[in-house]
Amino acid sequence: MNAKTKVAIFGGGCFWCTEAIFQNLRGVLNARPGYAGGELAEPTYEQVSSGKTGHAEVTRIEFDPSIISYDDLLTVFFATHDPTSLNRQGNDIGTQYRSIVLYFDDEQKAAAEAYIKKLNTDSDKPLVTEVKPLTNFYEAENYHRNYYLSHQDEPYCRFVIAPKLEHLRERFKNLVGGA
């Protein structure tokens, strides 16, 4: 990360989906799947998948704020997963799939909390998205990186990720374009 870039970390279900979504946005320089929000140091996918580590599958997003704002990232994040569903996204069930924003500073915390408050006033179902300070981020194993780009013909990619990307392209034409 250089002085002109910032980082956001979001978890909204399977990190393959979240990574693919943010990789498609102009101004996103890097999106990396990983684990955060728990206590276990250096967790593995198998450990996180057990639901016993406290970690969530998350994506670390390095972005250029002169091209895309943190508020834009929040808008996309909340529009591309179900923030009212506790510990699940579709068929992915467990605390590792919870909706979570991990913030780096008071500015990110305030922005996330304000966004959630606004969404809660407009929604008949309360949001369950956690907002926590980031303590540690652990990159996922190499085989998780660029998963959608490397496995587009696999069923999970075709039936879960591809429709989310189509929704993203339709709803956020002004933000889509890649780094």
Measure Cα distances from 28 to 69, 86, 130, 176 in Å.
10, 28, 23, 10
157 is catalytic: no
User: Would strands 130-133 and 99-103 be described as parallel, antiparallel, or unpaired?
Assistant: parallel
Tell whether the torsion through CA atoms of 74, 113, 140 and 157 is positive or negative. negative
- Residue 128: name the closest of 62, 56, 22, 50 by CA: 56
**Using an 8 Å Cβ cutoff, are 108 and 65 in contact?**
no
Q: Which of 7, 8, 9, 14 is catalytic?
A: 14
Catalytic residues: 14
